[in-house]
Structure 1
Amino acid sequence: MKSIQQRLLTSLLIGLPLLWVLTSSFIAWRLWHEINEMNDTQITQVARYLIGVSADEDNDNDKDDYDYDDKQGENKEKHTAKIYNLKSKQLSGDLGDAEDDYMGFAIWDKEGRLLMADENGQSFAFLPDQHGFLEEDDHTYQRLNPFSKRWRLFYIHDEHSHKHESRVIAVGQNLDSRQKMIVDAMSVQVLPMLVGLLAFIGLVVWLIRRGFRPLTKISSELEQRQPQDDSPVTAEVPKEIQPLVTALNILFVKVADTLAREQRFTADASHELRSPLAALKLQADLLQQQILQLSGIEDDSQLFYHTQQISKGIERATHLVEQLLILAKIEPQQQLPPEQLEKVDWLMLTDVVLSDVNRLAREKHIQLKRTVHCDNPADILPILINPILFKLLIRNLLDNAIRYCPEGSLIELQLDTNAIRVVDNGMGVEPQQLARLSERFYRPAGQSQLGSGLGLSIVNRIAELHGLTLAFTNRSAPETGFIVTIKNTIKNTIKN
């Protein structure tokens, strides 16, 4: 399940841009509609203004549009249209990016003769039957020349002109310029909104991370806390989280108290269980000696056998108690305290362990061998360890190999730069049982050797506390035997 912080950030970082896109799209659509309406209104107003201007031009013009030549008996057209050409650079004021071809107009008489126009209006088509705006779906619009298709055209008829009846006035606006104006207007709206959106997203991310910072601090503190630590969490947290912190502080006290009771019980059990078992073992040994000294007792060999079984049972119980006590001590630990870790001399440490198990190996005529696979002994598995626990780890591995190997076997302790291996030439383990060897109280079927099924479980736990991994494999054919490898995960490596 994702964290609350990640879910909030994901939702907001997707939702805010999506909301912005929807809002901006609606604003752009409304802005496009309103600007089109405004420009169409401007066109109609210009058309009305031109009606008055054209009438004033007629009142000021005292000459006839046409002169007749009596000699030839034919009308000769002497009228020329008035063309207005005014560049934007000649105008004063802040015109922005207005183009010279932004608007145009043309005025025709009822015969289609051009009376007045500007430079753009000269190319407008005379449509005597058109009234109002020429829409794109009109067939007339489609048959106009390509130039006219770039214009939004409005036609109006001056029915009240006292000289030229039914004048046709056309006013057009360049669509490219209109679209450019709309795009510029939308850019003025959208770009600041985009910058504001990015700034708002950054603010949201910063605020969420700042709001979750106390929880992150608490998580880091809890991750490093030891189970027996009952000190309260003192981090400042929001009021909504304070009940949780208070409950955690109460739980820490309960857990620490429970662990303290368990440790006291373990210490008491260690003393109370070892002493009676040692006494029983002593009594069994004395009984065996007495039986051997006595003679003439019927079935004395049977009595001696039973005393041997009692002694083995006591040894097994003693071994089991020791393993359980060791496991009870190391199991609650999440990590080893730094003050307990140190760099050791592997040769000296393994000398001690090999001497401890040598007696048991001699009883089964098993040869113990140590091999160093590097030139410099200082390069052997360069990690910080707890020497006491690691002696127990190696001793358990060797003890396990000695117990389950047949007499006359060879057990080799290999020391390498990144691993420690215990290799024997015994019968090995069934492949389907390899994955379960580190389980508590698990022993492969058919075993007659003394054991509790906890040795490899303790080895695995000690390896985990040191950041190491435990691997079980059989030797490759044609060789037979079992290999236990303690590998380094590099996170605890000593840096030179």
Structure 2
Amino acid sequence: MKSIQQRLLTSLLIGLPLLWVLTSSFIAWKLWHEINEMNDTQITQVARYLIGVAPKEDDDKDNHGQDESKKEHTPKIYNLKSKRLSGDLGEAEDDYMGFAIWDKKGRLLMADENGQSFAFLPDQYGFLEERDSAYQRLNPFSKRWRLFYVHDDHDHEGRVIAVGQNLKSRQEMIVDAMSVQLLPMLIGLFAFMGLVVWLIRRGFMPLTQISSELEQRQPQDDSPITADVPKEIQPLVSALNILFVKVADTLAREQRFTADASHELRSPLAALKLQADLLQQQILPLSGVEDDNQLFYHTQKISNGIERATHLVEQLLILAKIEPQQQLPPEQLESPDWLMLTDIVLSDVNRLAREKRIQLKRTVNCNNPADILPILINPTLFKLLIRNLLDNAIRYCPEGALIELQLDTNAIRVVDNGIGVEPEQLTRLSERFYRPAGQSQLGSGLGLSIANQIAELHSLTLEFANRSQPETGFIVTIRNKKAISRT
């Protein structure tokens, strides 16, 4: 499910442009309609004016004293290109409008330079539309104009007046008018969308701060969240603060119980182990006792059981200490001396290896020891990690095996030449209390789980694998998670 912030941003950033498009489309359509009506009204007003000022045929006869039929007719053509006649009309100043006046016989009486090319249509009244049959009789020039025809039959019989407006100039004027309206609206839309994004992110900033604080919080930390949050979020923050106290108290009680139980069990187990050892020592020199070998076998089983229980208690005690942690405090981390650290660990497990005649070997696969896996570690925990891996290898390898601790620039490996692990069991080895079936060795199933948790605390990962054929054995690799993500 998407976040509330993402859903709001998606809805608004899609909805606002869609609403703007619908609103702008309506405004553009309305503006186009209104400007067309205004221009058509202007055309009709010019036509009315021309009806009143156009010359009469009788006036033409009186002024010249001759019958019009006895002389050649010459129309009056007006040129409006003079700078004194043209105002601030933009790109339409020369060919914005035109007019023409004909007599009933189709002779042109008066026109401007545009109107003299208009088509004479004696049977047309009003605006000429494309659907009218007379439209087909227009010449190419006339089809580029919005034409209005009126007949002056009342005072001056037969005169036909045509007033036209250039369609291209009209469209340019409409587009310019629409641009003046829509461009500021478009700029305002982008500004408003930017404001919406800023306001939403600013409004959700307290939640982001709380999320960041929760990611870094330790489970045992019961300190309250002190971020300044809106009133709507305050009940949630208050509930979280109460939950933190409960969780921290529960973890503390569980940790104390595990630690106390482990400590309480160590003493009686140590006493039982001592008594079992003493019993074995007393049985050995006895003679004449029937089934003394059977008694020694049972005492050996008792001793092994006590040793296993002791190992389990120690592992549980370690688990109780490291489990509540999600990350290590920076003051506990330091740059390791790998040679010295591994010397200590190898010395710790050497006795157990000698008992099974297992050879331990350390290999440094780089020229400079300072280049070995350059990370910061908690030395105490990391010794425990490597010791658990070596201890696990010693316990499950046959007698006479070879266990090699390999130190490399990007990884640390524990490699043995034992029998390995079934492939389907590899993914479960780090689970708590999991032990592959058929094991006869002492163990609790917690060693690799503890090692995996320590690796997680150091942002490392444990990789389990069998050695490639024809070799047999098991490999555990300690690798940096960041190096894996880069590859």
TM-score range relative to shorter protein: over 0.9
**Residues 425, 436 of structure 2: 8 Å contact kept:** yes
TM-superposed CA distance for 1:139, in Å, is 3.5
State the alpha-carbon separation in 1 of the partners of residues 58 and 451 from structure 2: 115
More divergent stretch after superposition (280-289 vs 407-416): 280-289
- Per the alignment, residue 85 of structure 1 pairs with 79
Question: For 1:439, what is the secondary structure of its paired residue?
Answer: coil
Residue 368 of structure 2 corresponds to residue 376 of structure 1? yes
State the alpha-carbon separation in 1 of the partners of residues 187 and 242 from structure 2: 48
State the alpha-carbon separation in 1 of the partners of residues 57 and 320 from structure 2: 113
Query: Over residues 95-131 of structure 1, what are the superposed CA-to-partner deviations in whole Å (9 max), with x where a residue is unaligned?
Result: 3443211000000000000001111000000000011
TM-superposed CA distance for 1:266, in Å, is 2.6
The residue type paired with residue 123 of structure 2 is D
Residue 322 of structure 2 corresponds to residue 334 of structure 1? no
Alignment of 1:28-177 (within 5 A): 28-54=28-54, 59=59, 62-63=62-63, 67=67, 75-87=69-81, 89-91=83-85, 94-162=88-156, 165-177=157-169
Any unmatched runs of 5+ in structure 2?
none
TM-superposed CA distance for 1:293, in Å, is 3.0
State the alpha-carbon separation in 2 of the partners of residues 105 and 268 from structure 1: 110
The residue type paired with residue 119 of structure 1 is E
TM-superposed CA distance for 1:325, in Å, is 2.0
State the alpha-carbon separation in 2 of the partners of residues 285 and 434 from structure 1: 37
Residue 188 of structure 2 corresponds to residue 199 of structure 1? no
Alignment of 1:343-382 (within 5 A): 343-382=335-374
More divergent stretch after superposition (267-276 vs 347-356): 267-276
More divergent stretch after superposition (388-397 vs 224-233): 224-233
- Over the residues paired in the alignment, what is the CA RMSD in angstroms? 1.8
Q: Identity of paired residues, percent?
A: 87
More divergent stretch after superposition (232-241 vs 450-459): 450-459
State the alpha-carbon separation in 1 of the partners of residues 131 and 231 from structure 2: 66
The residue type paired with residue 122 of structure 2 is P
The residue type paired with residue 161 of structure 1 is D
State the alpha-carbon separation in 1 of the partners of residues 252 and 425 from structure 2: 37
Residue 239 of structure 2 corresponds to residue 247 of structure 1? yes
User: Kindly tell me: are residues 61 and 467 of structure 1, through their superposed partners in 2, closer, same or farther at Cα, counting changes over 3 Å?
Assistant: farther
Question: For 2:232, what is the secondary structure of its paired residue?
Answer: coil
TM-superposed CA distance for 1:287, in Å, is 1.2
- Per the alignment, residue 25 of structure 2 pairs with 25
Query: Over residues 207-249 of structure 1, what are the superposed CA-to-partner deviations in whole Å (9 max), with x where a residue is unaligned?
Result: 1111111111111111111111111111111000001111111
State the alpha-carbon separation in 1 of the partners of residues 132 and 465 from structure 2: 87
Residue 312 of structure 2 corresponds to residue 320 of structure 1? yes
TM-superposed CA distance for 1:58, in Å, is 5.9
User: Kindly tell me: are residues 287 and 88 of structure 1, through their superposed partners in 2, closer, same or farther at Cα, counting changes over 3 Å?
Assistant: farther
TM-score between the two structures when normalised by the length of structure 2: 0.96
State the alpha-carbon separation in 2 of the partners of residues 194 and 378 from structure 1: 62
More divergent stretch after superposition (80-89 vs 369-378): 80-89
**Residues 99, 177 of structure 1: 8 Å contact kept:** no
- Per the alignment, residue 423 of structure 2 pairs with 431
Any unmatched runs of 5+ in structure 1?
69-74
Question: Which of 172, 178, 181 does residue 180 from structure 1 map onto?
Answer: 172
Query: Over residues 27-56 of structure 1, what are the superposed CA-to-partner deviations in whole Å (9 max), with x where a residue is unaligned?
Result: 001111111111111111111111111157
Alignment of 1:284-323 (within 5 A): 284-323=276-315
Residue 466 of structure 2 corresponds to residue 454 of structure 1? no
User: Kindly tell me: are residues 394 and 59 of structure 1, through their superposed partners in 2, closer, same or farther at Cα, counting changes over 3 Å?
Assistant: same
State the alpha-carbon separation in 1 of the partners of residues 397 and 42 from structure 2: 105
The residue type paired with residue 465 of structure 1 is L
TM-score between the two structures when normalised by the length of structure 1: 0.94
State the alpha-carbon separation in 1 of the partners of residues 251 and 472 from structure 2: 45
The residue type paired with residue 86 of structure 1 is L
**Residues 258, 316 of structure 2: 8 Å contact kept:** no
TM-superposed CA distance for 1:142, in Å, is 3.1
State the alpha-carbon separation in 2 of the partners of residues 433 and 66 from structure 1: 124
- Per the alignment, residue 72 of structure 1 pairs with none
Query: Over residues 434-492 of structure 1, what are the superposed CA-to-partner deviations in whole Å (9 max), with x where a residue is unaligned?
Result: 11111112111111111111111111111111011111111111111111101112489
Question: Which of 399, 405, 411 does residue 391 from structure 2 map onto?
Answer: 399
State the alpha-carbon separation in 1 of the partners of residues 144 and 270 from structure 2: 110
The residue type paired with residue 407 of structure 1 is E
Report the count of equivalent residues.
484
User: Kindly tell me: are residues 122 and 93 of structure 1, through their superposed partners in 2, closer, same or farther at Cα, counting changes over 3 Å?
Assistant: closer
State the alpha-carbon separation in 2 of the partners of residues 185 and 58 from structure 1: 45
More divergent stretch after superposition (106-115 vs 205-214): 205-214
State the alpha-carbon separation in 2 of the partners of residues 169 and 203 from structure 1: 57
State the alpha-carbon separation in 2 of the partners of residues 353 and 4 from structure 1: 52
State the alpha-carbon separation in 1 of the partners of residues 82 and 17 from structure 2: 41
TM-superposed CA distance for 1:88, in Å, is 6.2
TM-superposed CA distance for 1:78, in Å, is 2.7
User: Kindly tell me: are residues 37 and 297 of structure 1, through their superposed partners in 2, closer, same or farther at Cα, counting changes over 3 Å?
Assistant: same
The residue type paired with residue 26 of structure 2 is F
State the alpha-carbon separation in 1 of the partners of residues 88 and 287 from structure 2: 134
Question: For 1:311, what is the secondary structure of its paired residue?
Answer: helix
State the alpha-carbon separation in 2 of the partners of residues 158 and 317 from structure 1: 123
The residue type paired with residue 78 of structure 1 is E
